Amino acid sequence: MAIPDLSFSIEIKDPLHGYIGLTELEESILDLRMTQRLRSIRAPAGIHQVYPGADQSLMGRLIGFLHITDTLFDSLRAEREDLLKARLVSMFLTISRGPWSNVMEEYLTVRGRNRRTRAKMAVENSPATEIIENSSFSVEEIVDVIENGISVKGIDVDLLTIPINPELVDSLERDAYFAGVEYAQLEYRRLFDATRIAKNKIAVERGSVYTLESYLSAGANMYDAVYYHKTVRAAELMLLRILDEAASMLFEFPREDSKEFLSIDDWTFHDMLMHLPEDPTEEVKLAAKVFDSFRNRYLIKLASSRAIADHAFLTKLATPDGLYDVEREIAEEADIDPKNVYVDYPNRPSVEFYPGKYSLDDVVFFERGSRGYEFWDVMDLSLIARSYKRDLRPVRVYTTRGYRSRVKKVGDRLLESVDIP
């Protein structure tokens, strides 16, 4: 299908996708300081500690996300106005991200300011608000599609939850390219061409089952090799600990007004942590010490790891209080300060992607037969899709140098006690 006739005012060269055009409205939003700051935010935050070439910023992801969103909605035969709305939503979802990208995502999400909420705040109360008001769209329209999705063929497509996800497609290709790994082999254009909306679900042609599986496999491979790499996560856990200890010093929490939050980047945090105020609190001094170790790649070390299927234990880890209780329990038994213990699990907001992040329940395969269209649940035809439903999560225990042997004994004992054979 031909791309709807969009009038572009600028083209930007992307190393993955070639020249990407932006409309006049999109260019105006791109030129704002709150958007340009994305050039100084690494994403994902810890990947460069393992793969030196993976030093890319959120600016590249913004352009890539917009381009892949355009490609998907064009394949779904969206109307021109809906396609333009989808492109704007992709921009604001990226603009709403903060310093340390995926790490900040977890810090804010568990405190009631998830990405959707922040994107709506950026539309309603930021330098972009007036630009939108002077366009063919209203602020209310853009807020509505951020909140409810973009209407295509009778269903609302939510860019944050759609299982064939344009942001994930760009992230997999971009991170694999800059990290120099070969794990993200996927034919997204063929996948999009084989995708339809039917029975109020995302439907993929049955003959393209292997194309869908290549997409699912790419996600699983990048999760294993990059996003949940033990050293990548060690670096990101240290940044998360800094936010837990001293976030109030680093930035103003985005409550009703996100303007201050949308003005800061990684270098803002770097400067503050390298130049402490006079008479800093113990929390601030600890944050600065952790950041100095992060900056010099003096990272925490993996002490214990085990794949856990116990639902109650995994549910406990998914809450801030439960996670802290487990860290404190390990620290007390090892006779060390709880601040020297870090527990990690994969399905948390700071992990860029993990299998199961996007539900496949609303995806079906279809085929046109002699009696009309037939549909199959994706789990019935794809073993790889079925594997995404497994309740087995690798839980890890990290600690600072010098305590590894003590924490390993306690961590191994604790994880074995909750493991289900």
Looking at the chain, how many residues does it have?
421
CA triple 267-93-57, angle to 5 deg = 35
SS3 for 291-302 is HHHHHCCCCCEE
Asked if residue 411 is part of any domain, the answer here is: no
The domain tally of the chain equals 1
**pLDDT tens per residue across all 421 residues of the chain:** 445 578 999 999 999 999 999 999 999 999 999 999 999 999 999 999 999 999 999 999 999 999 999 999 999 999 999 999 999 999 999 999 999 999 999 999 999 999 999 999 999 999 999 999 999 999 999 999 999 999 998 899 999 999 999 999 999 999 999 999 999 888 999 999 999 998 888 999 999 999 999 999 999 999 999 999 999 999 999 999 999 999 999 999 998 888 999 999 999 999 999 999 899 999 999 999 999 999 999 999 999 999 999 999 999 999 999 999 999 999 999 999 999 999 999 999 999 999 999 999 889 999 987 777 889 999 889 888 888 877 789 999 999 999 999 999 999 999 999 976 6
Report the CATH number that the domain containing residue 239 is assigned in CATH.
Answer: 1.10.3210.10
Q: Both tokens of residue 326?
A: 């487990």
Asked if residue 32 is part of any domain, the answer here is: yes
Asked if residue 349 is part of any domain, the answer here is: no
* pLDDT of amino acid 388: 82
Asked if residue 306 is part of any domain, the answer here is: no
- What is the C-alpha separation between 16 and 349, in angstroms, rounded? 26
Global pTM reads: 0.95
* pLDDT of amino acid 2: 44
Asked if residue 49 is part of any domain, the answer here is: yes
Asked if residue 226 is part of any domain, the answer here is: yes
- What is the C-alpha separation between 414 and 324, in angstroms, rounded? 14
Asked if residue 410 is part of any domain, the answer here is: no
Asked if residue 330 is part of any domain, the answer here is: no
User: Can you give the residue range of the structural domain that contains 54?
Assistant: 1-299
Output the CA–CA distances (angstroms, integers) from residue 177 to 64, 69, 171, 183, in the order listed. 13, 19, 10, 9
